[in-house]
Amino acid sequence: MKRREFLKAASTGLAASAAVAAPAVAQSMPVIKWRMPCSWPKSLDTIYGGADAMCKAVAEATDNKFQIQLFAAGEIVPGLQIVDAVQAGTVEIGHTASYYYFGKDPTFGFGTSVPFGPNARINQGWWMHGGGEEVLNEFYKTYNARALLAGNTGCQMGGWFRKEINSLDDLKGLKMRIGGWAGKILQKLGGVPQQIAGGDIYPALEKGTLDACEWVGPYDDEKLGFYKIAPHYYAPGWWEGGSMLLAFVNLEKWNELPKHYQAILEQAGHYANTWMLAKYDQLNPQSLRKLLAGGTKLHVFSPQIMDASYKATMELHAEVAKENANFKKVNDSMMTFTKNAYQWFQVAENTYDQFMIRAMR
């Protein structure tokens, strides 16, 4: 079923369930125009493309009665100020990574990813059926916003480094662009984290302001050109096991929407979530092959670095949870769901995947 047909069917089903005739629904559709800034440059047709897919789905499902105009980072709002603009009512909605705002409260990290958090499947399960949506929106309400699921990158890469990173000593003094809460972990290990919007990373790397950087994965990273300066490519991105992207909606604007518009907007976000993850799964393998053919050196973080990073993460989360009730509540919810999910994954999913990986070699 095509996107338009699916969303039309969803809209019709909502109308039917409310015992409202289709013509009455059509007549009740007000003309609404919103602006949606995002944290991404237009060049990233995956993550920016997911936000665009969401806007188009809303328009198609409402016969263009509900239009959301998408703006790239910096066009009307700086890439790292989306939540601020939504909270103030400067814009009605914005597409971003919630962990960019961990400086306001570390609880923001959970809406995208935290180090050693769940993979994409588990993250989505927690959001949709494990209480994640409820517990996070209870928190976001204090910032005059409601969040909708609107994307996922899957597990990310560990980033680009000018030199090999073989031990913990190699992290000391390392100036690295790393998003959100993960920067605190790098700092505990002796690194110097920098939070920089996507479009500004390459110039900083080129000038030597950065020694290393991370973004998403092979396809986006190739487009942004990091391999030209930092040839050592590491996996995995232990700070982003399955990063969700969210559409933050100003709470008053959300409450003003007709119920069927709310439902369409939410379902459009779910479509964007599926679209984005599938897009990355399509493009990342071929881009990684191209990068390796061009001279990129692929590495895996050493067990020493992984173990130390995990230990530092658990220590930091425990420290913050003692002082921040919101953080503790969300962390407990996510980690309980994640632990149960991985116990199941190791039974079937992991054993099957490992066999297929060996077989395909």
Write out 32-90 in H/E/C secondary structure: EEEEEEECCCCCCCCHHHHHHHHHHHHHHHCCCCEEEEEECCCCCCCCCCHHHHHHHCC
User: Is 3-154+241-282 a domain of CATH 3.40.50.720?
Assistant: no
- Asked whether the beta carbons of 211 and 158 are under 8 A apart, the reply is no
Which of helix, strand or coil describes residue 148? strand
Q: Is the pLDDT confidence value at 50 over 70?
A: yes
Q: What is the pLDDT of residues 2-15, one digit of tens each?
A: 555 545 554 444 44
> How far, rounded to the nearest angstrom, does the alpha carbon of residue 216 sit from its chain's CA centroid?
9
Fold agreement (3-154+241-282, 159-239+295-325) = yes
Query: pTM score, two decimals?
Result: 0.89
CATH for the stretch 159-239+295-325:
3.40.190.10
Q: Residues 301-351: pLDDT tens digits? A: 999 999 999 999 999 999 999 999 999 999 999 999 999 999 999 999 999
List, for residues 186-242, the tens digit of each pLDDT value: 999 999 999 887 788 999 999 999 999 999 999 999 999 999 999 999 999 999 999
Per-residue confidence (pLDDT) for residue 199, from 0 to 100: 80
The ranges assigned to domains in the chain are: 3-154+241-282, 159-239+295-325
117 in helix, strand or coil?
coil
Say which residue the tokens 């050109």 belong to.
225
Q: With 80 as the cut, is the pLDDT of residue 24 above it?
A: no
pLDDT tens track for 142-187: 999 999 999 999 999 999 999 999 999 999 999 999 977 889 999 9
φ and ψ at residue 161, rounded to 5 degrees: -130, 140
57, 272 Cβ separation under 8 angstroms: yes
